[in-house]
Amino acid sequence: MPSAAKAKKAAAKKGVASKAASSKAAAAAAPAPAASPAEPVKADVKLIFPISLTARQRAAVHTIGERYGLPHISQGEGAERHIVLGPAGAPTVVLAGPAEVCDASSSGRDSDQNDGTSSSSAGTSGSAPPLSDDQLVALIKQHLKLDASEEFSYTNSSSHGGGGGGGGGGARRPAVGSGPWRRAEAAAAAKPGSKGLLTPEDFIAWVMPLLEMEREAEVAQAEEALSAGSPESAAAKGRALLNLRLADAEGGLLGRTLLTLVNNKGGGSEPLPPHKFSPHDIVRLRPSKGDGSGPPLAEGVVYRVRDSAMTVAVDDVPDEGLDVPLRLEKMANEVTYQRLRAALTCLGGEGQRGLAAPLVDVLFGRRSPRFDSAPPAWQPLNSGLDESQQRAVTLALAAQDVALIHGPPGTGKTTAVIELICQEVARGNRVLACAASNVAVDNLVERLARQDSRMPIVRVGHPARLLPQVLESSLEARVLQSDNSALAKDCRREMKALNQRLLKLVSRKDRDERQAVRQELRQLAREERKRQERAVQEVLQGAQVVCTTLTGVGSRQLDRLQFDVVVIDEAAQALEPACWAALLKGRKAVLAGDHLQLPPTVISKAAARAGLSRTLFERLQDLWGEAASEMLTMQYRMNSAIMEWSSQELYGGRLAAHASVAGHTMAGLAGATPEAAELPVLLLVDTAGCDMEEQEEEEGDSKWNDGEARVVMEHVRRLMAAGVAAADIGIITPYNAQVTRLRELRPEALAGRLEISSVDGFQGREKEAIIISMVRSNAARTVGFLSDARRMNVAVTRARRHCALVCDSETVSAGDPFLARLLAYFEEHGEYASAGEYDAGGVG
């Protein structure tokens, strides 16, 4: 290693390692507030906390707010994100960092941790050193004048219930262990008269304008890209594809036609230009030439995207106009907003909440969650369920209104959800199983079918949006198999014959017969509609599990259906209004998710700032916390060195690695060569001082970094030389422009195997080896949205055996304390390499 790089490494190590050590100590102290309620306090100041709080500390501050009845919100985005605790109109106290504790606290604790930072108004500056847990507690007690002897101890939620028939409890029943039931009641008691709680009416009044802002932002984004500029600029933004040729049109997707479009250049063999289309997008097809103002040739849904072809499912194929160069445009999806508004209107009308009325009360904190008094007896169908998964299923089965399953990465929340659904079905209950994304819903359908092939499942959704392997369970496929559907088909056949006859009845003398045929046609049309509707209703009524996306719940077909249980998987990725469409259909709700992974996408920055991206899952964690939730703690993906960073930084050190994965390394992979033994579990490739600066797009604000992209590809070569298959490697970068750059550098032969994607594209997935390209390298030390802890949590925890971080340590460490701790962790527990050596091909 060149000496300059060594010096940089030493300096960087000194700076970040000490922070990592303090973070570890903080995690060990883990001051989540005790769950029991306290007298509401009347604070005469409001506190603004520094952004350097760990995610767990932030969660603790919110819980303290809940506990003492104090307003508490997160404000700002990225580097500006901070928490405000206390009444809105009160004078502000900006908390700077550890020094303040020593200046102002009478406790005198933690003086050894004081690093001399000014306590004045460094405020939300990211440069303030992190507060330890003790310091955070001391500051809160001091400023809010809380009882100094008040204990804030980390509470363990694992004490309620056992699996496989153990556990259980009830609102009036002495809890098993400390049990969630009593905590729920007590927490409810701390909210006398529900004062200060959000009502459904408040929520609707607050969220409707935010949804409108979001709709406008989405429409503006689509329209601006398509009409404000030239078609070429829409294409440059990835929202239009120009000069396409129709290569194929095939029927068969349950009545739709699949149009396959290819690049007109090079006779259709060239790849499509870079674009932002993905399966399920709503699209419009028109001639490539022209200003795009006339009616489109067709509208449809993207069915499949390949490097060199895009397949679109359309309801109606135009008779002509498809033989010219074509343009495909990506549209805004207005239907989603109509459905969200309809669900909220229903929530707003007390009389319209039906069997969900008690649930609504619990979800708005007016009543505490209730649990069965007798322990639920159940025998796991999946005999491999671990203890925390069994506890989660027990809790959800015992719940009468709501239960939350918090599943950190790889801990098997979907596994627990599948077991729960099977158990509910075995009890004769009807289940509505949802998730925000189609992929997540299809995953549920597939895994349910695997668990019990005879389970009557129906997947509701546009066939173009479903994975081929679940088409058989789709509503349309099931409807086609029904008797009523066959009768409807007969009606259509007869109508066709009558229409042909009608065409021939043109003379005056045929008038009476014409009228009779028309009359018959009307009757047949009515009959056909009735049969179709009956077929749909019969299939849906007969299904014990209906699976659909949260948006799909708003479809007309599900209008009158009600369920015993509504299960929402990946709930932390769903907007709260989207959840309501599903929740209003059930008596009880079970939400599984991880609010410490990626939040839902919100396009409008203003709406996100105002709180639209705060999910119901997060809100319920704050409202009921451990009273109604179970955290899964055993993960089945990561080597423990990878897991430990995430566990300490975000999950209070509570994650454990299952023995089957705790020590697995690249050397243990099938096909690994002796070089694989040299691959560390954690690797930091540092570009500091290597002249690898970030660059920015002219249109749009994405960024890329050529130097990093080369280093990443060099590391791919090193992994492959060690016998790692390209399909076992994933490259993650937070910036779309870097995704494009990396794909350009990817050897053609690896195109279908070496996956390169944004963090969002990898959520819920895993690879044996993950390489993260962080891109940011600038003199101003700005890191932008890299500092979002949830994004980085998802990126790192996709890796099973090896995780490599490629970044400029000077920019990244200086830009954000959370990232500084991440780098320190990698250095301390992994290996360090200079990108200079890497770029020259000198490593490995």
Question: Which residues would be at the binding site for ligand ATP (CB under 6 A)?
Answer: 384-386, 389, 407, 409-415, 636, 764
Residue 505 near residue 517, CB atoms below 8 Å: yes
Query: How far apart, in whole angstroms, are the C-alpha atoms of residue 365 and residue 384?
Result: 36
Residue 564 near residue 588, CB atoms below 8 Å: yes
- 812, containing H or E segment: helix 809-815
Query: How far apart, in whole angstroms, are the C-alpha atoms of residue 443 and residue 425?
Result: 18
For residue 410, the minimal CB distance to ligand ATP (Å) is: 5
For residue 597, the minimal CB distance to ligand ATP (Å) is: 7
Residue whose CB is less far from ligand ATP, 256 or 406: 406
Query: Which tokens sit at 636?
Result: 């089945």
Query: Which tokens sit at 426?
Result: 């075995």
Q: What angle do CA 704, 706, 709 make, to 5 degrees?
A: 90
Q: Kindly report the backbone phi and psi dihedral angles of residue 202, in degrees, each rounded to the nearest multiple of 5, phi listed first.
A: -60, -45
Residue whose CB is less far from ligand ATP, 47 or 759: 759
CB proximity list for 274: less than 8 A, separation 6 or greater: 238, 740, 743
Residue whose CB is less far from ligand ATP, 392 or 824: 392
Query: Which tokens sit at 390?
Result: 């069994």
Which of 291, 157, 299, 135 is closest to 227 using CA atoms?
Answer: 291
For residue 413, the minimal CB distance to ligand ATP (Å) is: 4
Residue whose CB is less far from ligand ATP, 385 or 669: 385
Strands (E) in 337-419, as ranges, are: 402-406
Q: Closest residue (Cβ) to ligand ATP? A: 412
For residue 321, the minimal CB distance to ligand ATP (Å) is: 44
Residue whose CB is less far from ligand ATP, 630 or 810: 630
Q: CA-CA distances (angstroms) from residue 189 to 60, 102, 159, 194, 421?
A: 20, 36, 22, 9, 32
Query: How far apart, in whole angstroms, are the C-alpha atoms of residue 612 and residue 294?
Result: 35
Residue whose CB is less far from ligand ATP, 179 or 764: 764
Which region, left, alpha or beta, applies to residue 281 given φ > 0 means left and ψ of -120 to 50 means alpha? beta
Given the DSSP bridges, would you call strands 309-314 and 256-263 parallel, antiparallel or unpaired? antiparallel
Residue 418 near residue 396, CB atoms below 8 Å: no
Query: Which tokens sit at 690?
Result: 């290597």
Residue with tokens 């509505």: 432
Residue 79 near residue 104, CB atoms below 8 Å: no
What is the SS3 assignment for 456? coil
For residue 411, the minimal CB distance to ligand ATP (Å) is: 5
Residue whose CB is less far from ligand ATP, 258 or 657: 657
Residue whose CB is less far from ligand ATP, 636 or 785: 636
For residue 385, the minimal CB distance to ligand ATP (Å) is: 5
Given the DSSP bridges, would you call strands 82-85 and 72-75 parallel, antiparallel or unpaired? antiparallel
Residue 210 has a CB neighbour count (10 Å cut-off) of 21
Query: How far apart, in whole angstroms, are the C-alpha atoms of residue 767 and residue 752?
Result: 15
For residue 608, the minimal CB distance to ligand ATP (Å) is: 23
DSSP letter assigned to residue 120: S
Query: How far apart, in whole angstroms, are the C-alpha atoms of residue 181 and residue 321?
Result: 65
For residue 636, the minimal CB distance to ligand ATP (Å) is: 3
Residue whose CB is less far from ligand ATP, 484 or 633: 633
For residue 757, the minimal CB distance to ligand ATP (Å) is: 15
Residue whose CB is less far from ligand ATP, 431 or 775: 431
Residue whose CB is less far from ligand ATP, 48 or 403: 403
For residue 728, the minimal CB distance to ligand ATP (Å) is: 15
CB proximity list for 387: less than 8 A, separation 6 or greater: 162, 163, 634
Residue whose CB is less far from ligand ATP, 427 or 765: 765
Query: How far apart, in whole angstroms, are the C-alpha atoms of residue 283 and residue 301?
Result: 6
Residue whose CB is less far from ligand ATP, 384 or 674: 384
Which of 129, 96, 130, 98 is closest to 113 using CA atoms?
Answer: 98
Helical spans, DSSP H, in 427-510? 438-451, 475-480, 483-504
Residue whose CB is less far from ligand ATP, 793 or 834: 793
CB proximity list for 133: less than 8 A, separation 6 or greater: 26, 27, 29, 30, 31, 57
Query: Which tokens sit at 446?
Result: 């597939």
Query: Which tokens sit at 404?
Result: 């939350």
For residue 421, the minimal CB distance to ligand ATP (Å) is: 13
- 235, containing H or E segment: helix 231-236
Residue whose CB is less far from ligand ATP, 200 or 407: 407
Q: Which amino acid is at 273?
A: P
Which of 106, 95, 107 is closest to 45 using CA atoms?
Answer: 95
Residue whose CB is less far from ligand ATP, 393 or 623: 393
